[in-house]
Amino acid sequence: MSTTHAAMGVSIAAVTVWIAPELAVPAALGAMAGGIFPDLDVAVVAHRRTLHFPEHYWLPVALAAPVAAVAPSAVTVGAAFFALSAAVHSVSDAFGGGLGARPWRNDDQRGVYSHRRGEWIPPRRWIRYDGAPEDLLAAAVLSLPGLLLFDGLVRDLTLAMLAVSVVYTVLRKPLGELTHRYDL
C-alpha cells in the first residue's frame, strides 16, 4: 500500500528528531511524499514501471543527501528524504506480490520493473499483496514513529493514512473479486 511506503519513509526520516529537530517535520513530510510518489503511476500508466526506479532513484539520493548535510534547510532535507523514500519504495515493491488484479492468486510475476536490466524483478511475496493483513501490520508498525515522535501535521497525516490502510485492507479482496466478476 502507498500508505505503508509513506509510513516507512516517515520511519526513516524520524532520525532527524534527534539530529536536527527543527528539520524533522520537513524531513517527514518529504519522506511521506516520496513514499507515495512512485505509486502515482497506478491509474494512468504502467504501474511499478513508469515511476518506479529501483536502481535509478539512488542517484538523486546521492546528490541530495550531501547537499542536505552541507546546507541543511527545510527544502534540502525534505528533498533528500523524498528521494530516499522513493528509492526505498521502489526497491521494496519487489518484496510484495505481483501486479495482477487479484494478486493473492499468485498469477502475476511482475514485482517491479528494472529499467537498468530492461526486465521485471519477480515478486518475493513477503507481503502477499497490497492490502493484505500483513501489509496492514507493516503499516501499523511503521506508523509508530510518526505517531509517537511527531505531533501536529505529521501525526495527523499518519493517523489518516493508517485509517485509509484499515479501510483498504478490509475492502481490497472484495473489490478485486468484484472488478474481476464484472470485468471492470
Listed by start position, the domains of the chain span 2-181
Give the closest residue to 32 by CA, choosing from 127, 150, 135, 113.
150
Distance CA(62)–CA(72), nearest Å, equals 15
Predicted TM-score of the model (pTM):
0.94
- Specify the length of the chain in residues: 184
150 Cβ neighbours under 8 A, 6+ residues apart: 10, 14, 17, 24, 25, 28, 158
For cell 517527514, the residue is 28
Distance CA(97)–CA(105), nearest Å, equals 10
Distance CA(37)–CA(27), nearest Å, equals 15
133, with CB counted inside 10 A (0-12, 13-18, 19+), is: exposed
List the beta bridge partners of residue 121.
112
**pLDDT reported for residue 182:** 77
**pLDDT reported for residue 184:** 63
Distance CA(157)–CA(167), nearest Å, equals 15
pLDDT tens digit sequence for 106-120: 999 999 999 999 999
Distance CA(142)–CA(40), nearest Å, equals 21
Q: Which three cell numbers stand for residue 45?
A: 500508466
Query: What is the DSSP code (8-state) at residue 122?
Result: P
Q: What residue ranges of the chain have pLDDT lower than 70? A: 183-184
